[in-house]
Amino acid sequence: MARPLILGAGPAGCAAAVELARSGVSPTLLDRCATVGDPLCGGFMSWRTLSQLEALGIDLSDLGGQPVDRLRLFGRGTWVETPLPRPSLGLSRHALDTRMRETATTAGAQFAIDTIRGISASTAHGQRQDWHGESLFLATGKHDVRGHSRPRQSEDPALGLRLRLPPGNARRRLIGSAIELHLFRGGYAGIVLQEGGSANICLALRKSALASAGGDPLTLLSRVAEDNAGFADRLGPDFSRARVESIGAVPYGWIAHETKPGLFRLGDQAAVIPSLAGEGMSIAVASGTMAARHWLQGGTGAAQAYQRAFAARAYRPVQMAKAARVLAETRLGAAAALALARLLPGLVIDLAERCRIGRDSIQSDRATCTHARPC
Ligand SMILES: Cc1cc2nc3c(=O)[nH]c(=O)nc-3n(C[C@H](O)[C@H](O)[C@H](O)COP(=O)(O)OP(=O)(O)OC[C@H]3O[C@@H](n4cnc5c(N)ncnc54)[C@H](O)[C@@H]3O)c2cc1C
DSSP string, 302-324: GHHHHHHHHHHHHHHHHHHHHHH
Ligand 1: residue of 138, 142, 192 to mutate (most ligand atoms within 8 A of CB) is 142
Whether residue 128 is contained in a domain is answered as yes
CA of 142 to the centre of ligand 1 (A): 5
Whether residue 203 is contained in a domain is answered as no
Instruction: List all residues 6 or more positions away from 148 whose beta carbon is below 8 Å from its beta carbon.
Output: 119, 138, 260, 263, 265, 269
CB 258 within 8 A of CB 73: no
Ligand 1: residue of 18, 162, 254, 275 to mutate (most ligand atoms within 8 A of CB) is 275
Whether residue 204 is contained in a domain is answered as no
Whether residue 191 is contained in a domain is answered as no
Whether residue 221 is contained in a domain is answered as no
CA of 82 to the centre of ligand 1 (A): 28
pLDDT at 369: 36
Range of the domain at 332: 5-153+251-368
- CATH number of the domain encompassing residue 268: 3.50.50.60
pLDDT at 122: 86
pLDDT in tens, the chain (375 residues): 678 999 999 999 999 999 999 999 999 999 999 999 999 999 999 999 999 999 999 999 999 999 999 999 999 889 999 999 999 999 999 999 999 999 999 999 999 999 999 998 889 999 999 999 889 999 999 999 988 889 877 889 999 999 999 999 999 999 999 999 999 999 999 999 999 999 999 999 999 999 999 999 999 999 999 999 999 999 998 898 899 999 998 999 999 999 999 999 999 999 999 999 999 999 999 999 999 999 999 999 999 999 999 999 999 999 999 999 999 999 999 999 999 999 998 888 899 999 999 877 666 544 333 333 332
Residues with CB under 6 A from ligand 1: 7-13, 30-33, 39, 41-44, 49, 115-116, 139-143, 145, 160, 190, 202, 204, 247, 250, 267-268, 275, 278-282, 284
Give, using CA atoms, the residue closest to atom 48 of ligand 1: 10
Whether residue 304 is contained in a domain is answered as yes
Crossing angle, helix 47-55 and helix 280-298, to 10 degrees? Answer: 30
Give, using CA atoms, the residue closest to atom 37 of ligand 1: 140
The whole-model pTM stands at: 0.95
CA dist 354 and 317 (Å) reads: 6
179 CA: nearest ligand 1 atom: 8
Give, using CA atoms, the residue closest to atom 5 of ligand 1: 42
Give, using CA atoms, the residue closest to atom 41 of ligand 1: 116
Ligand 1: residue of 130, 143, 206, 269 to mutate (most ligand atoms within 8 A of CB) is 143
If one counts every other C-beta atom within 10 angstroms of the C-beta of residue 118, the result is: 12
- Across the beta sheet with 158-165, the strand order is 44-45, 78-90, 66-75, 178-184, 187-193, 199-206, 158-165, 245-250
Whether residue 145 is contained in a domain is answered as yes
* Bridge partners, residue 265, by sequence: 138
Whether residue 159 is contained in a domain is answered as no
First-to-last alpha carbon distance for the chain, in angstroms, is 7
Residue 33 region by backbone torsions, left for phi larger than 0, else alpha for psi between -120 and 50, else beta:
beta
Give, using CA atoms, the residue closest to atom 6 of ligand 1: 42
Q: Number of structural domains, the chain?
A: 1
